[in-house]
Structure 1
Amino acid sequence: MNYLSAENLSKTYGDRTLFRNVNFGLSRGDKIAIVGANGSGKTSLLSILAGATPPDDGLVSVRKDITVGYLDQQPDLNEALTVMEEVLAGESAQLDAVRAYEKALTHDDPAALERAMSQMEKLEAWDYEAQIRQILGELGIQDVEQRVGTLSGGQRKRVALARVLIQNPDLLILDEPTNHLDLEAIEYLESFLNTQNGTLLMVSHDRYFLDRVCNQIVELDNGQLYAYKGNYAYFLEKKTERLAADAAEFEKNKNRYSRELEWMRRQPKARGTKAKYREDAFEDLEGKVKGRRTEGELDLNLRVSRLGSKILEVENLSKRFGEKVLLDHFTYTFKRQDRVGLIGKNGMGKTTLLNMLTGELRPDSGKIVAGGTVKFGYYTQSELDIPDNQRVIDVVQDVAEVMKLADGQTITASQLLHHFLFDRQKQYDFVAKLSGGEKRRLQLLLVLVQNPNFLILDEPTNDLDITTLNVLEDFLLNFPGCVLIVTHDRYFMDRLVEHVFVLEGQGKVRDYPGNYTDYREWRDAQPKKNTATKEAASASHKLAPVDLSAAQSAAPAQKKKLSFKEQREYESLEGEIEQLEQRKAEVINLLNGGGHHEQLTAWATEIEQLDNQIAQKTDRWLALAEFI
C-alpha cells in the first residue's frame, strides 16, 4: 500500500539548486533513511515530504486515511505549557479521549463523563498517561510538570520526540532523532522503532542506528536520489559498486568527448555541413563530462604539537551542584595515546568533567596538573560564536593565514578550507548561509589548526555527515596525542576508544578496559553471572572494570605491594609496548605502500601478532598498575 509519493520535486535556495526533478515513493512497512553529505539538502527534502515546506516545483501526495507524525530538527513547542501538557497537545484518537475525559471531570458533566469513559475503554487509553511518563523517562525527561520554557534545546528535542512517538502515527518522519539523546535513550528508541509495525522515514548519521532500524537507504547525492534495498551495510557495498561504475562510465565519456571535440574543430564554420544529430550528441556528452562533480575528500593531515612524558594528572577531583554529586574523589593519570570514551546519562556530569579538565570550571576539591607540553583542543557542543555576516575564509584567517602540515609543508587558509570540503564559492559565503553540518565542520577545523596534542571532543558527531565522520575517525586513529570523547555515536566510540569512564551517579566513575559495546556486554551479563565462582572470572579474557572513585577510598596498607621483580617488569612494560606500537606503525605504512601478495600477507600477519602482543602486555601493565 502506497503511503507517500513525490513527483518531480525541485528546491533552490538563492543560486544553489539542492535537487531537481527527483521522484520518491514510500509504502506501508518501509523503514527508509535518507543519507548524504552536509548541505546536500536532506533536511529540506524531508521537510517537503512532511508537508512543512513547499517545493519550488513538483507534487507530494500522502494517502488520505493515514496519520503522519513529524519531528523537526528545531521543533516548535509552546513554552507556557508543562512537559505533560505539551505531549498531550499532540494529535491521536487516544489523546483526544484523554483530553475529553479530563474536560468532563472538571466540568461536572455526568453525560459527557460517561461518553468519555466509554471512549477511553474502547481505545484502551486508561494507561496512556503511564505510557507517556514511561517514554519521557526513557528519553531522559523525569519532571513532567516542568515548564517547556525552562528546558534546554536538547530537552525540548526529546519532549518533541516523545510527543510524536506517543501519537503512534501510521507514518513517522524523523529528522536526526538520535541527536541530544544519551546512549541508553538511543538504544531505547532503536528498540521502540524495531518493535513497531509502522512506517518510518528519517534522516540520521548514526550508522549503528541505520543498520539496525532501516530496511532501505536512499542517498541524496549531487541533486539526485539513489535507492538501495537493504540496511546500511548493504548500502555501503552497493554504493561502492555504483561509484566504480560511474568512474568507468566517466572515463569512457571523456575519451569519446576528446574524439568528438576534435571532429567539431575540423568542421567548417558557419556552414550547414555538420550532422545535426552529431552536434546534439556532442553537446549532451559535453554536459556529462564537464558537469560531473568530483567527490570531495576531507584531509586532516595537520601538524600535531609534541607531547612530553607528563601529560595530565587528576587527583581526588570532586564536584557537586547543590545536593547533586557529580564527581567524588575521581583520580586518573593520563598516559601517552590514551583513547578514552566518557559514558553516562544526560545530567551525570560529562561536560562538567571536560570543562574542569580544560580549566573552564573549578572543582570543589582535588587538583588537575597538566604537563608543560600539553596543548588542549576542545571541541564543544556549543555553536560557533561568530557573527553571521563574517565570511568563512575570514574566520579561518583570523586564527592563522598559513598552517603547517604533518610533513612540514605549509598550506594557506584557502587551501585548508578546500581540504575540509569548502569550495571557493563556499569560502566566501557568509557564516549565516552555512548548514548545521557545515558549521560543525568549520568548528572542527578551527580546533585542529591550533595543533593540539590532547583532543577533547564533546559530541563531535552531531550534524556531521557520514563521509566526514569516516575521515575524522581515520585521523583520530592515527592521532599521536591523547583523545577524550563524549559521543552518542556508538560506532564512532567503538572504533576509537580503548577504555571508557562510566559515570554511574553519586560521583562514582568506573573505568572499563574496552569499547562501548564491550562494556554493555559486560554490564548486561552481570545479573546472570555468579560472581562468587572463580571459574567464571578466570574464563573471562576481559579485565574487570575498576571503580576509580572507590579505589581512592582504600587504605594504602590494604594494597598488595609489588615485589622487586614485578616492579622491574612494570617499569619495562611501557617501553616494550611503545616499541611494539612503533613497529606496528611501520608495518602499516609498508602495507599501505603496496607490494607483492606474499609481502602483503606477511605484513598483515605481523600486524595481527603485534596487536596480540600489545594487548597482552597492556593487560599485564594495567594489572600491575593497580598496586603502584
Structure 2
Amino acid sequence: MNVVDVTGLCKSFGSRELLDNVTFAVGEDERVGLIGANGAGKSTLLTILAGIDDHDGGAIAMKRGASVGYLSQEPVLNESATVASEIESGLTAIRAAMASFHELSERMASNPPDMERLLVRQGELSVWIEHHGGWNTDHRVSEMMTHLQLPDPAQIISTLSGGTKRRVALAKLLLQAPELLLLDEPTNHLDADTTQWLQDHLKGYPGAVMLITHDRYFLDEVVTRMLELERGAILSYQGGYSTYLTLREERLMNESTRRSRLLNLLRTETDWIRRGPPARSTKQKARIDRYNALEESLAGPARRDLKIGFNTEEGFGGTILEMDGVGKGYGERKLINRLAFGMKRGDRVGVIGPNGCGKTTLIRMIMGEEEPDQGKVVVGKKTRISYFDQLREVLDPNQTIYDFFGEGDYVTTANGEKRHKIGYLEDFLFSPEDRRRPVGSLSGGEKSRLILARLMLQDSNLLVLDEPTNDLDIPTLQLLDASIAAFPGCVLMVTHDRFFLDKVATGVLAFEGGGEVTFYEGNYSNYRERKEANRVAASAQRVEKKEAAAAKAEKPKKGLTYAERIELEKLEGSIEVLEQAFAEVEGMLGDPSCYGSVEGGIAAITANYGRLEAELARAFERWEELETKKAN
C-alpha cells in the first residue's frame, strides 16, 4: 500500500514551470532518494508534500491517518527552549497515546460492560505505539543524544550553532517516527561516524522515507528507489545510486538513438515541406501537423552542461609538502601529536575526522595562517597552492558575479587561453543575465560553482579543498570527481563525502582522537577495511590477554609467599585460642548451673557457641589451604 500518491502535480514561479505534471507514489516501507540539478525543484516538492507550500495543479492523496514529518535545511526551533524540552515537545503524541493506553487498562480492570470496544481501542493504541517506538521512548532519546552528538540537555537552543540546531531537529523528528519521513540534506553538518549511524537507522526505519542528499554513498546504502527531477518531469529508477547510474546511461543511449531516428525523419519531412505541398487533402494536412509536432518535440529546452577542469604546468620540484613531527593544540587540548606526513605528485589525500577535531587547523598550518607548536611544515619552493574555503570568506556579498573575476571583460586560463567572462561563466551554468547578480544573492551551490570557476583560472600544483562538495548537486559532483581524478598535481581535501573519497582518494589522513592522526593507503573503503581489521585484531588480543590472565590465576602457585608464611604462623596460634574458648563454652552448655550466672542466659551461651564454632571452621579451612600450598 502507498503512503502517498501524487498525480499530475504542477508548480510555477512566474513564467518558470518548476514541476510539470509530476506523477509518482511512495510505498509504506520504501526509501526514496530524490535527485536533480540545483534549482530543479527538489526542495519545493518536499515542502508541497509536507503541506508547507501550495501546488498549482494536480492531486496529492495521503494514506488515511498517516503522519508526515519534514526536516528542512534550516529548521525552525523554539529558540528559548532547552535541548531537552525541544526534543520532548516532539513526543507529545506518543506520550498522549501511552497515557490513553494505561487509562484503558485501568478501566478494563473493573470489567466494564463495553469491554469489547475497549479491547479493540487498546489494541489499536498498542499497534500505533509500537510503530512509533513508544514503549522504549526514554532509551531512544538517550540513543539520539549520544549518536547525534547533542549538547547538554539543559543548554538553550539560541546558544547553539546552526549545525547543532539541525541535529536537534533531526533527533526530534526521528523520535516522532512519522509514517512518511521527508528529509532535505539530512547528512549536512554530520561527521562520518554520525552519518554511518543515521544510515543504519534509516535502513531499519519503520515507515516510508523520501530524502534529498548529495551524499552518493548514503544514497547507495539507504534508498530502494531513485527519483530524478529533470526539467519539470520526474523519472523513476529502481535501486540505489550505482544502479541509477547504469539505468540512466541506458536511458540516455536509447533516447539518443531515438532522437537520431527522429532527426532523420525531420530532415526528410523538411525537404517535403520546402517543396511547398498544397494542404488540400486530409492526408497532407495531417502530415504537416505531424511535421510541426515533430519539430516542436525535438526543439525542447537546450541542456547546459557544467565544464570543470583544473590546470597545472610542469615543474613540481623535489618537495611539494612535508610535515615533520608537527604538533598543535590549544591549552590542554591536543589536536595533532607528532604528525609526520608528506605528499608527492599524483597524491590525492582525504582528511577525515569528527567535527572540531583539528582538520581546519591542519589546513591553516599548510596555508601559513597558523604556526605549529612543535615540528615544521615545509611547502616546496615550486609548490603553488589553490585553496577552496568552505566558509567562502573569499566572497564579497556586494560584488557582482562579473566583477568577482577582476577588471576587464576577459579572463586568462591557467594554460594561457583568453576567454570572455560571459562565455567562461556559461561553462559554470551562469547565464549572461546572471552576470550582474550580487554574490550575496546566490545559493550555496552557486557560490561553490563561482569559487571553483576562479580556482580553475589559477596555475597550481597543490589543491587544498575544504569541504568542496558542500551544496553541490549530483551532476556537478560527478564532474568534480572526474576533474580531481584527472588533476596531475596533488590534492588535499577535507570532506565528509565518502563516495567522493572512494572515487578520487589515493590515501586517507584520519584524525582518531587524542591528537593521533594516522595515514592509510587507498580510498575510503580501504580505510574502513583497515579500521575494521585493526578493531578485530585488537579485540582478539584483549580476549587472548584476558584468557591468559585467567589461566595464570587458576594455576596453583608453588610454596608460600612471605605474607602467607606469617599468616600461617598466626593462624596456628589463633586456632589454639579458639579451641580453648570453644571448649569453655561447650562446658557451660553442659552445666545448667552456669545459665543464671551469664547475662542473657542459655540464649547468649548458645549464640556464643555457634559463633565460635563457625570461626573455628573458617580458621581450619584456611589453615588446610595454606598447608596444602606449603606442601607443593
In structure 1, the partner of 2:340 is 331
2:424 aligned residue (403, 412, 416): 416
SS in 2 for 1:421: coil
Aligned equivalent of 2:153, options 144, 161, 165: 144
1:184 aligns with 2:193: yes
Q: Structure 1 residue 517 and structure 2 residue 514: aligned?
A: no
Gaps of 5+ in 1: 101-118, 534-628
User: Which residue in the other structure is 2:584 paired with?
Assistant: none
**2:250 is the counterpart of 1:241:** yes
Cα distance, 1:219 vs structure 2: 0.7
Task: Judge conservation of contact 1:37–1:465 (CA < 8 Å) in 2.
Answer: yes
SS of residue paired to 1:457: strand
Contact 1:326 1:507 in 2 (8 A): yes
Equivalence for 1:591: none
Could you tell me how far apart the structure 1 residues matched to 2:63 and 2:135 are?
30
Identical aligned residues as a percent: 39
Selected match of 1:474 from 473, 478, 482: 482
From the superposition, tell whether residues 269 and 396 of structure 1 become closer, same or farther in structure 2 (CA, over 3 Å): farther
Partner SS for 1:227: strand
Unaligned runs of 5+ in 2: 101-124, 542-632
Choose the corresponding residue for 2:183, options 171, 174, 186: 174
CA deviations on 1:196-241 (whole Å, 9 max, x unpaired) are 2321111112222111111111111122111112222221111111
Match in the other structure for 1:4: 4
Of 216-225 and 51-60, deviating more is 51-60
For the aligned residues, what is the CA RMSD? Answer: 3.1
82-91 vs 424-433, greater mean Cα deviation: 424-433
* Aligned pairs (5 A) from 1:428-507: 429-431=437-439, 434-507=442-515
* Alpha-carbon shift at residue 415 of structure 1 (Å): 2.7
Amino acid at match of 2:344: K
Q: For residue 403 of structure 1, what is the aligned residue in structure 2? A: 412
Does residue 296 of the first structure (1) align with residue 312 of the second (2)? Answer: no
**What do the CA deviations read for 1:350-397 (whole angstroms, capped 9, x no partner)?**
112112221233444443232222222221221466455654333234
Note closer, same or farther for the CA distance 1:23–1:487 as it changes in structure 2 (3 Å cut): same
Distance 1:456 1:144, change over 3 A: farther
Secondary structure of the residue aligned to 2:6 is strand
Is the CA contact (8 Å cut-off) linking 1:384 and 1:439 kept in structure 2? no
**Segment of structure 1 superposing worse, 292-301 or 137-146:** 292-301
Deviation at 1:491, TM superposition (A): 1.5
- Provide the residue aligned with 1:227 in structure 2: 236
The 1:398/1:94 distance shift into structure 2, 3 A limit, reads farther
Letter in 2 for 1:37: A
**Corresponding position of 1:617:** none
Does the Cα contact within 8 Å between 2:312 and 2:461 map onto a contact in 1?
no
CA distance 1:509–1:300, shift in 2 (3 Å)? same
What is the 5 A alignment of 1:70-89?
70-89=70-89
1-side partners of 2:68 and 2:175: how far apart? 12
Deviation of 1:303 after TM superposition, in Å, equals 4.2
Question: Larger deviation: 169-178 or 13-22?
Answer: 13-22
Aligned partner letter, 2:11: K
In structure 2, the partner of 1:49 is 49
More off after superposition, 272-281 vs 311-320: 272-281
Q: For residues 91 and 449 of structure 1, do their structure 2 counterparts lie closer, same or farther at Cα, with a shift above 3 Å needed?
A: farther
Among candidates 138, 151, 154, match of residue 163 of structure 2: 154
Letter in 2 for 1:490: R
The answer for the alignment partner of 1:16 in structure 2 is 16
Distance across 2 between alignment mates of 1:442 and 1:490: 24
CA, structure 1 residues 327+97, in 2 after alignment: closer, same or farther (shift >3 Å)? farther
Shift of 1:493: 0.7
Q: How far off is 1:41 after superposition?
A: 1.7
From the superposition, tell whether residues 145 and 353 of structure 1 become closer, same or farther in structure 2 (CA, over 3 Å). farther
- The aligned residue for residue 386 of structure 2 is 377
Contact 1:459-1:487 at 8 Å conserved across structures: yes
Give the distance between the partners of 1:99 and 1:273, measured in 2 at CA: 75
Q: 1:557: which partner in 2?
A: none
Q: Distance in 2 between matches of 1:249 and 1:64?
A: 42
Q: Find the partner of 1:528 among 536, 549, 552.
A: 536
C-alpha deviation, 1:319, in angstroms: 2.6
TM-score (norm 1): 0.75
Provide the residue aligned with 2:600 in structure 1: none
Q: Which has the larger radius of gyration?
A: 2
- Of 485-494 and 421-430, deviating more is 421-430
Q: Secondary structure at the match of 2:512?
A: strand
Conserved? CA contact 1:303–1:404, under 8 Å? no
CA distance in 1 between counterparts of 2:482 and 2:177 reads 40
What per-residue deviation string (whole Å, max 9, x for no partner) do you get for residues 500-539 of structure 1? 2211222121122232222222222334327999xxxxxx
TM-aligned CA deviation for residue 429 of structure 1: 4.7
Q: Distance in 2 between matches of 1:98 and 1:400?
A: 68
Q: Is the 8 A contact 2:279 2:285 kept in 1?
A: no
CA shift at 1:182, angstroms? 0.8
Corresponding residue of 2:580: none
Q: Which runs of 4+ in 1 moved over 6 A?
A: 97-100, 268-274, 530-533
- What TM-score does the superposition give when structure 2 sets the normalisation length? 0.74
SS of residue matched to 1:361: coil
User: Is the contact between residue 385 and residue 463 of structure 2 (CA under 8 Å) also seen in structure 1?
Assistant: yes
State the secondary structure of the residue aligned to 1:392: coil
What residue in structure 2 maps to residue 544 of structure 1?
none
Mapped to 1, the partners of 2:62 and 2:443 lie a distance apart of: 28
The yes-or-no answer on 1:307 pairing with 2:321 is no
- Relative distance call for 1:192 and 1:68 in structure 2 (3 A) is same
Matched, 1:254 2:268: no
Kindly indicate whether the alpha-carbon contact (under 8 Å) linking 1:399 and 1:446 is maintained by their aligned counterparts in 2. no
CA contact (8 A) 1:267 1:274 kept: no
